């Protein structure tokens, strides 16, 4: 059920089932956006990148990656778009400008702080008539307002890694109800090539970055197919070289702003996790994946 909470610039969507892991994810993103900008860049476009000739910044690499996945999905003239885990709103703003004729773009997130920042940016860009934000758990997408207008495009970039199994299933089942037939779903995240055999390179007793529920691409695509989606494309993207370069570039930004031991807690978790992921990517245990599916 949807509802409004006070004067916040977003609508609150309540589901019927609690997610006990939600507070853990919220804590990861509680630092001010100005802190995160020092690590991932002023655009706050946060999820890996592709580095073609000439691209060097995190923003350039991130846009190249985003554009490549849109091209793979062959998206044209969507009427309604959903960004699952929209963060600080950077992807939503980009999509609103890229699909200038799209009348409705929705973003959901569980961090009120991130949504407030996203709302301010959307207002400054003059997009608040088309972009709507919801404080909503991914497992509750079925309760979003406006079911009479199905989604043509759904993106989940860098958010699925945070989902416990119940949330991932709830999202897949909910999207099966809310995406039009033939509508596209883009999932982009870092997955474990074999969850059962994975061994961490570091002492792995801490749930860093609220990514404690490991997933393989086969688990994700299998669930999507079970829920009625047809998986059109699965590939390693970005490749290992670009994935490692992106991790190291973020770490270099952190090194430039904080000495070891002085990084904010969440960024310190990411720094350690990135070191572990670099080792895992280089030995083939972990890869970044792009998954393109459509509702069948």
Phi, psi of 185 (to 5 degrees): -125, 125
pLDDT at 159: 98
Domain range enclosing 157 = 2-295
Is 105 in contact with 116 (CB distance < 8 Å)?
A: no
Q: Residue 142: pLDDT above 90?
A: yes
- Confidence class for position 7, pLDDT limits 50, 70, 90: low
Count the Cβ atoms, other than its own, within 10 Å of residue 174.
20
Q: Residue 5: pLDDT above 50?
A: no
Mean pLDDT of the chain: 95
pLDDT tens per residue across span 9-25? 999 999 989 999 999 99
How many domains, the chain? 1
pLDDT tens per residue across span 274-287? 999 999 999 999 99
Q: Which two tokens stand for residue 268?
A: 């310190």
Q: Residue 222: pLDDT above 60?
A: yes
pLDDT at 8: 73
* Interval 289-294 mean pLDDT: 98
- The CATH number of the domain holding residue 243 is 3.40.50.150
CA distance 104 to 134: 13
pLDDT at 1: 56
């Amino acid at each position: 059920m949807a509802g409004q909470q006070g004067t916040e610039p977003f609508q609150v969507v309540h589901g019927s089932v609690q997610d006990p892991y939600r507070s853990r994810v919220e804590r990861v993103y509680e630092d001010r956006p100005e802190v995160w900008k020092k690590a991932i860049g002023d655009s706050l476009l946060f999820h890996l990148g592709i580095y073609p000739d000439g691209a060097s910044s995190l923003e350039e690499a991130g846009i190249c990656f985003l554009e490549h996945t849109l091209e793979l999905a062959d998206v044209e003239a969507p009427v309604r778009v959903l960004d699952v885990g929209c963060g600080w709103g950077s992807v939503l703003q980009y999509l609103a400008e890229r699909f200038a004729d799209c009348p409705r773009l929705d973003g959901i997130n569980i961090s009120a702080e991130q949504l407030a920042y996203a709302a301010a940016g959307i207002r400054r860009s003059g997009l608040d008539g088309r972009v709507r934000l919801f404080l909503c758990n991914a497992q509750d997408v079925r309760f979003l307002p406006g079911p009479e207008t199905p989604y043509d495009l759904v993106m989940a970039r860098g958010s699925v890694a945070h989902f416990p199994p119940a949330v991932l299933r709830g999202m897949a089942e909910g999207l099966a109800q809310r995406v039009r037939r033939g509508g596209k779903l883009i999932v982009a995240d870092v997955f474990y090539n074999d969850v059962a055999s994975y061994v961490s390179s570091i002492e792995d007793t801490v749930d860093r970055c609220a990514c404690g529920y490991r997933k393989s691409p086969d688990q994700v695509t299998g669930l999507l197919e079970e829920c009625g989606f047809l998986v059109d494309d699965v590939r390693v993207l970005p490749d290992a070289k670009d994935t490692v370069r992106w991790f190291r570039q973020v770490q270099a930004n952190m090194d430039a702003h904080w000495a070891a031991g002085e990084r904010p807690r969440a960024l310190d978790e990411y720094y350690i996790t990135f070191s572990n992921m670099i080792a895992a990517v280089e030995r083939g245990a972990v890869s970044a994946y792009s998954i393109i599916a459509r509702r069948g």
